[in-house]
Amino acid sequence: MSTGPTDLGTPPDPDKVRMFSFLIFSKLEGAVTAGMIHLGDRLGLYTELARVEQYLTSDELAARLGLHPRWVQEWIHNQAAARIVEVRHDTDADRYALGPEARVVLADESHPAFGMGMFHRLPQTMNSLQVLPESFRTGVGHDYDSHGPDGAVGIERSFEPWSRSHLLPTVLPSMDGLPERLTAGARVADIGCGAGGAAIRMASAFPNSHVVGYDISRFALERAADRKARESVSNVEFRDPRRDPLPEDGSLDFVTAFDCIHDMTHPQEVMGSIRRSLKDDGIWLLVDIKALDTFEETMRKNPMASLMYGISVMSCMSSAMSVPGGAGLGTLGLPESKAREMAVEAGFTRFRRLDIEHSLNAFYEIRP
């Protein structure tokens, strides 16, 4: 349906009313099916279907997981109707399976295309609808911890698969001299480190380096500390920058910030602090959402725009406005031009977009 201007004075056309209703209810279908995807992930329905790699009746699937067959049947009807699960109508029963691509996205946590992270935290994200009307009145949003401990798990599961496959082999070598410097021993900080995946990965790969992850989320920092202990990595630590700020003494070799600057209440100040923390030959790797300069361009070119603006209201912009006067950049609020302008304002002089393929993110190498 066209989103262009229409003649506002004309009476509603019944056919167009039907089409518009279909548009609106297709959004509700997406939201409800997203809830069913959450259940498929949480109850292990996808992993079981992926594991067996064959067609099963819904009763067989329910029995394998010790679940009630009637509930699994209704769930799988939703999934087949939504074309997520494949169905074969045999004469004795309907049987269901996951195709190879579905297995990767729904059930293979080690694959870079694994997509269940955002669905993991769907109930918490949707629950924000309870408090957001007040935010619309006051202007003040909610930080990541408002989504509870599962919010941090969802974020971790969203970003880990790609980071696990690409951070060390693709991203770090794209910056001149960086792997050698990390191998020799460098001081590194990961800002907005979440559950610590990237920081621990860098610390493990470069034992002569020392990595500090900074985050304001108590739940993320707890997960990071647990993981550090589990993986017995000693050259990494995690801090809350409100108590233990980034050292602004020109002592760091390398700073990273993955998908977090647009979530911050004071991104310009944080960029200034990153600049002051770095040696004159230090490097800042900024990774943030690929965004476009204008809303008009975003509407035209970004097929995920409505999803991203919605996530922004419920999560990113809400976080970025979680104190009065927060900058409120939000999910699509840091296009390259803005990142460059803010980096210059923070005292950086060199800015280069890295040639790294990613469906959502852009990568920038920024130097003093």
Ligand X SMILES: C[S@@+](CC[C@H](N)C(=O)[O-])C[C@H]1O[C@@H](n2cnc3c(N)ncnc32)[C@H](O)[C@@H]1O
Q: Provide the binding-site residues for ligand X, judged by CB under 6 A.
A: 144, 155-156, 159, 191-194, 214-217, 220, 241, 258-260, 263-264, 270, 319
Residue 361 CA to residue 167 CA, distance in Å, equals 13
Residue 363 CA to residue 336 CA, distance in Å, equals 9
DSSP one-letter code for 131 = T
Cβ-based nearer residue to ligand X, 237 or 259? 259
Cβ-based nearer residue to ligand X, 84 or 274? 274
210 forms bridges with which residues in the sheet?
187
Cβ-based nearer residue to ligand X, 197 or 335? 197
Smallest distance, ligand X to C-beta of residue 131, A: 17
Smallest distance, ligand X to C-beta of residue 59, A: 39
Residue 224 parent element (H or E)? helix 218-231
Half-sphere exposure of 103 (CA within 13 A, CB side): 12
Cβ-based nearer residue to ligand X, 103 or 120? 120
Smallest distance, ligand X to C-beta of residue 169, A: 17
Smallest distance, ligand X to C-beta of residue 133, A: 23
97 forms bridges with which residues in the sheet?
86
Helices 148-166, 197-205: crossing angle, 10 deg rounding:
40
Residue 368 CA to residue 351 CA, distance in Å, equals 9
Q: Which two tokens stand for residue 170?
A: 């693709």
Smallest distance, ligand X to C-beta of residue 192, A: 3
Query: Taking the CB of residue 304, how many other CB atoms lie within 10 A of it?
Result: 14
| CB-based contact 116:157 (threshold 8 Å) | yes
Cβ-based nearer residue to ligand X, 40 or 151? 151
Cβ-based nearer residue to ligand X, 182 or 287? 287
Query: Residue 298, exposed/middle/buried by CB under 10 A (0-12, 13-18, 19+)?
Result: middle
Cβ-based nearer residue to ligand X, 215 or 253? 215
Cβ-based nearer residue to ligand X, 182 or 327? 327
Smallest distance, ligand X to C-beta of residue 217, A: 3
Smallest distance, ligand X to C-beta of residue 194, A: 3
Cβ-based nearer residue to ligand X, 60 or 222? 222
| CB-based contact 156:194 (threshold 8 Å) | yes
Q: Which two tokens stand for residue 275?
A: 């600049």
188 forms bridges with which residues in the sheet?
211, 254
Smallest distance, ligand X to C-beta of residue 363, A: 13
Residue 206 CA to residue 184 CA, distance in Å, equals 8
Query: Taking the CB of residue 208, how many other CB atoms lie within 10 A of it?
Result: 10
Smallest distance, ligand X to C-beta of residue 264, A: 4
Gyration radius from the chain CA atoms: 23
Smallest distance, ligand X to C-beta of residue 144, A: 4
Torsions phi, psi of 178, nearest 5? Answer: -65, -50
Cβ-based nearer residue to ligand X, 78 or 125? 125
Q: Across the chain, how many H-helices and E-strands are there?
A: 17, 9
Residue 41 CA to residue 33 CA, distance in Å, equals 12
Query: What residue number has its CB nearest to ligand X?
Result: 194
